[in-house]
């Protein structure tokens, strides 16, 4: 039988693994595709995060690293994507 603490710890570990996998994919795409002054679009299907709290954590991490990250959802076209652009310095 699993305790509430064990369940929470396992859930935290799963979320950490999902964030690591998403970052590896995003970093790979950005390293291949980013050119100064341009944006890079990544479909959500290629980023294995569906939980909105994790999505917000992921976006916050990239913003701290100097990216402007926009997340778009178009339910009509079933299109869900992230746009990465270098953040402008104030």
Domains of the chain by residue range: 4-86
Q: Determine the topology of domain 4-86 in CATH.
A: Translation Initiation Factor IF3 (3.30.110)
Is a pLDDT exceeding 70 seen at residue 85? yes
Per-residue pLDDT at 76:
67
pLDDT value of position 73: 81
DSSP state of 48: -
The candidate with the shortest Cα–Cα distance to 45, out of 29, 64, 62, is 29
Distances (CA, A) of 29 to 1, 2, 5, 65: 41, 39, 36, 16
Provide the whole-model pTM.
Answer: 0.83
pLDDT tens, residue by residue, 8-62: 999 999 999 999 999 999 999 999 999 988 999 998 888 878 788 999 999 999 9
């Amino acid at each position: 039988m699993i305790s509430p603490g064990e369940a929470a710890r396992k859930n935290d570990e799963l979320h950490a693994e999902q964030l690591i996998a998403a970052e590896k994919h995003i970093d790979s795409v950005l390293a291949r595709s980013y050119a100064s002054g341009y944006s890079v679009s990544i479909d959500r299907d290629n980023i294995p995060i569906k939980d909105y709290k994790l999505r917000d954590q992921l976006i916050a991490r990239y913003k701290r690293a100097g990216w402007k990250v926009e997340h778009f959802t178009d339910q009509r076209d079933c299109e869900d994507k992230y746009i990465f652009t270098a953040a402008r310095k104030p």
